[in-house]
Amino acid sequence: MKNIVKIPKINSIALIYCVLCFCIFFYSCNRKCTTGKETILKGQVIDNTTQLGVAGALVIVQGSNVDLNLASKEFGRTTTDGNGSFTIDCKDFKNYNMVISANRTNYIHLYNTEIDIEPCDKIHANLKLGLNPSAVIKVHAKNLYKIWDKLSLDGIFHIGQIDFSGYNMDTTIFGNYTGNVKGNANNNLKVVFSKFGKDSVVFQNIYSPAFDTTNVEILY
C-alpha cells in the first residue's frame, strides 16, 4: 500500500510574500556580516586656550591590533575647514583599534585619543580634538660681577637642564634649546645660581602669549 502525501496548492500571493521575507532576511544577515566596513567621523579641532576652531589642521585616523598581528594602518586623513570642522569616511577598519590625531604648524602637544568604534556602519559626530598653541621663550643670561660661578636653567627646555659656568658668561638661549612652549599659558623656569659653593634656586612663572616670543633677562 502506498502512502500518498498531498501537497497543498500554494497561493501565489503567499509565495511572493515568503520570497520577499526571505530576501529581506538574507539581506539583513549579509549586512550584519559585513558591518564595520564604513564609518563616518565628524568633529572639530579646537584651540584649547580659546575654544575656537583651528583651520588647516591635519586630522589622521589610524588603527592597529597587536593581538591579531595587524600592523598600523592609515584609514583616512583630511584638513579642517575655516571653522576647524572635519569629516572622514573610514573603510575596512574591522578588527582594528582606532586612533584619531590632529596637528598643525605653530601648535604643540599632538592630540591623540582612542575611539571606540563598534563594528557597524554609523556616524561618530561631535568629536573634539584640542591643540595647544605654541610660543617661544628667549632667555638672555649674563654674569655682571665677573666672579666664577655656575648657572643652571631648567623647566622650559626640551633637552633637560642646561648648565653654564665661568667668569664672563653672556649668552642667549633660544631656538633649539627652548623650542616651543605652551602659548597663552604660564611656563615655569627654574634658575639655579651657584656662587662660592652655595646654590640659590629661583622659580619664575613666565606668561607666554601664543605665537609670540617672550624675552627673559637673567642678570647675576
Nearest Cα to Cα of residue 47 among 120, 112, 104, 125: 104
Given the C-alpha cell 526571505, which residue does it identify? 22
Cell numbers linked to 94: 574591522
Q: Looking at residue 75, what is its pLDDT?
A: 85
Please tell me the distance from the alpha carbon of residue 213 to that of residue 133, in angstroms, as a whole number: 13
Please tell me the distance from the alpha carbon of residue 177 to that of residue 156, in angstroms, as a whole number: 9
Between CA 175 and CA 41, with CA 48 as vertex, the angle to 5 degrees is: 115
Residue 2 backbone zone (phi > 0: left; psi -120 to 50: alpha; other: beta): beta
Does residue 175 share a domain with residue 190? yes
Q: Looking at residue 207, what is its pLDDT?
A: 93
Does residue 202 share a domain with residue 115? no
Nearest Cα to Cα of residue 218 among 171, 163, 162: 171
Does residue 129 share a domain with residue 63? yes
pLDDT tens-digit map of 31-87 = 222 344 677 889 999 999 999 999 999 999 888 776 777 677 888 899 999 999 999
CB 140 within 8 A of CB 174: no
CB 218 within 8 A of CB 191: yes
- The answer to whether residue 18 sits within a structural domain is no
Q: Which residues of the chain have pLDDT under 70?
A: 1-37, 66, 70, 92-93, 109-121, 158-159, 174-180
| Distance, first Cα to last Cα, the chain | 121
Domain holding 215, by residue range, is: 134-219
Please tell me the distance from the alpha carbon of residue 94 to that of residue 36, in angstroms, as a whole number: 5
Does residue 190 share a domain with residue 159? yes
Q: Looking at residue 22, what is its pLDDT?
A: 38
CA dihedral 93, 95, 97, 102 (to 10 degrees): -10
How many domains are there within the chain?
2
- The answer to whether residue 1 sits within a structural domain is no
Q: Is 33 helix (H, G, I), strand (E, B) or coil?
A: helix
Does residue 161 share a domain with residue 81? no
| Among 74, 106, 133, residue at a domain's last position | 133
CATH assignment of the domain containing 92: 2.60.40.3330
Q: Is 7 helix (H, G, I), strand (E, B) or coil?
A: coil
